[in-house]
Amino acid sequence: MSEPLLSVSGLKTNFDTRHGLLRAVDDVSFSLDRGEILGLVGESGSGKSVTGFSLLGLIEAPGRIAGGSIRFDGQELVGASIDILRSIRGRRIAMIFQDPAMTLNPVLTIRQQMKLAYDAHQSRNTGDFTARALEVLSKVGIPDPAARIDAYPHQFSGGMRQRVAIAIALMHRPDIIIADEPTTALDVSIQAQILAEMRGLAQETGTALIWISHDLATIAALANRIAVMYAGRIVEQGTTAALIRAPRHPYTQGLLNSRPDRFPPKAKLPQIRGAMPSLSNLPQGCAFAPRCQFASDLCRSAIPPWSGTLHDGFACYHPLERTP
Amino acid sequence: MTDEFVRIDKVTRRFTQPTPWTEHVMARFGVEPPARTVHAVTNVSLGIKRGEALGLVGESGCGKSTLGRILCGIIPPSEGHVSIGGEAVTQGAAKATRRVQMVFQNPFASLNPRMPIGAAIGEGPLAHGLVSRAELVPYIRSWLERVGLPADVAERYPHQFSGGQRQRVAIARALAMQPDVLVCDEPVASLDVSIQAQILNLFLTLREELDLTLLFISHDLGVVRHICDRVAVMYLGRIVEEAETASLYDNPAHPYTRALLDSIPRLEADGIEAQFKAIAGELPSPLRPPPGCAFHERCPLAFDLCHSEVPLLKTIDRSDQHRAACHALC
pLDDT digits (tens, 9 = 90+) for A56-114: 999 988 899 999 999 999 999 999 999 999 999 988 999 998 888 788 999 999 999 99
The candidate with the shortest Cα–Cα distance to B41, out of B6, B78, B73, B74, is: B78
Angle at B59 between CA B57 and CA B60, to 5 degrees: 120
Sequence-ordered list of residues with C-beta below 8 angstroms from that of B4, at least 6 positions apart, any chain: B47, B48, B49
Contact assessment for residue B99 and residue B179, using Cβ atoms and an 8 Å cutoff: yes
Taking an 8 Å cut-off on Cβ atoms, the answer to whether A192 and B275 are in contact is no
Taking an 8 Å cut-off on Cβ atoms, the answer to whether A221 and B200 are in contact is no
A chain contacts of residue B282, beta-carbon cutoff 8 Å = 157, 159-160, 189-190
- The answer, yes or no, to whether the previous bond of A62 is cis (omega within 30 of 0) is yes
Taking an 8 Å cut-off on Cβ atoms, the answer to whether A263 and B192 are in contact is no
How many Å lie between the alpha carbon of B279 and the closest alpha carbon of chain A? Answer: 6
The candidate with the shortest Cα–Cα distance to A70, out of A176, A154, A150, A163, is: A176
Percent of chain A with pLDDT over 90: 56
Domain boundaries of chain A, sorted by first residue: 6-81+208-314
d(Cα A210, Cα A219) in Å, to the nearest integer?
10
Residue B98 zone, left/alpha/beta (φ > 0; ψ -120 to 50; rest): alpha
Distances (CA, A) of A174 to A170, A185, A197, A205, A268: 6, 24, 16, 9, 45
Torsion of CA A237, A63, A45, B120, to 10 degrees: 180
**Residues B190-237: tens digit of each pLDDT:** 888 889 999 999 999 998 888 889 999 998 899 999 999 999 999 999
Helix (H) or strand (E) holding A96: strand A93-96
Sign of CA dihedral B301, B306, B310, B315: negative
d(Cα A171, Cα B196) in Å, to the nearest integer?
38
The answer to whether A271 contacts chain B (CB < 8 Å) is yes
The answer to whether A229 contacts chain B (CB < 8 Å) is no
Domain boundaries of chain B, sorted by first residue: 255-330
Neighbouring CB atoms inside 10 A of B88's CB total: 12
Nearest CA in chain A to B61: A187
What number is the average pLDDT over the span A10-15? 95
Q: Which residue in B199, B207, B273 has the most chain A C-beta atoms within 10 A of its own C-beta, making it the best mutation to test that interface?
A: B273
Distances (CA, A) of A192 to A186, B248, B255: 10, 21, 16
Q: In what order do the strands lie in the sheet with B53-57?
A: B100-103, B181-185, B213-218, B53-57, B230-235, B238-244, B322-324, B314-317
Phi, psi at A280, each rounded to 5°: -80, -5
Q: How many contacts (CB atoms, under 8 Å) link A and B? A: 138
Is residue B97 scored above 80 in pLDDT? no
**Residues B150-187: tens digit of each pLDDT:** 988 999 999 999 888 999 999 999 999 999 999 999 99
Residues counted in chain A: 324
Phi, psi at B305, each rounded to 5°: -60, -35
Burial-class residue A297 by CB neighbours within 10 Å (0-12, 13-18, 19+).
exposed
Is residue A324 scored above 80 in pLDDT? no
The reported pLDDT for the residue numbered B22 is: 83
End-to-end alpha carbon distance in chain B:
23
Superfamily classification of domain A6-81+208-314: P-loop containing nucleotide triphosphate hydrolases (3.40.50.300)
What number is the average pLDDT over the span A276-305? 92
d(Cα A66, Cα B229) in Å, to the nearest integer?
53
The answer to whether A246 contacts chain B (CB < 8 Å) is yes
Instruction: Please report how many Cα atoms fall inside a 13 Å half-sphere around the Cα of residue A189, on the Cβ side.
Output: 19
Is residue A48 scored above 60 in pLDDT? yes
Q: For A37-68, give the DSSP string.
A: EEEEE--TTSSHHHHHHHHTT---TTEEEEEE
Neighbouring CB atoms inside 10 A of A322's CB total: 10
Nearest CA in chain A to B59: A187
How many Å lie between the alpha carbon of B248 and the closest alpha carbon of chain A? Answer: 13
Sequence-ordered list of residues with C-beta below 8 angstroms from that of B274, at least 6 positions apart, any chain: A221, B265, B266, B267, B268
**Residues B60-71: tens digit of each pLDDT:** 888 999 999 999
Is residue A3 scored above 90 in pLDDT? no
How much is the pTM? 0.87
CA B58 to chain centroid, in Å, comes to 9
A chain contacts of residue B267, beta-carbon cutoff 8 Å = 216-217, 220, 244, 256, 259, 261-262
Nearest CA in chain A to B260: A189
Contact assessment for residue A104 and residue A165, using Cβ atoms and an 8 Å cutoff: yes
The reported pLDDT for the residue numbered B330 is: 67
pLDDT band per the 50, 70, 90 thresholds, residue A142: confident
Contact assessment for residue B224 and residue B212, using Cβ atoms and an 8 Å cutoff: no
Contact assessment for residue B96 and residue B67, using Cβ atoms and an 8 Å cutoff: no
d(Cα A78, Cα B226) in Å, to the nearest integer?
46
CA B31 to chain centroid, in Å, comes to 39
- Write the residue in A257, A265, A271 that is nearest to B226 by C-beta: A265
Helix (H) or strand (E) holding B4: strand B4-16
Taking an 8 Å cut-off on Cβ atoms, the answer to whether A244 and B219 are in contact is no
Taking an 8 Å cut-off on Cβ atoms, the answer to whether A244 and B272 are in contact is yes
What number is the average pLDDT over the span A175-203? 87
Q: What is the ipTM of this complex?
A: 0.84
Q: For A108-144, give the DSSP string.
A: S-HHHHHHHHHHTS--S--S-HHHHHHHHHHHTT-SS
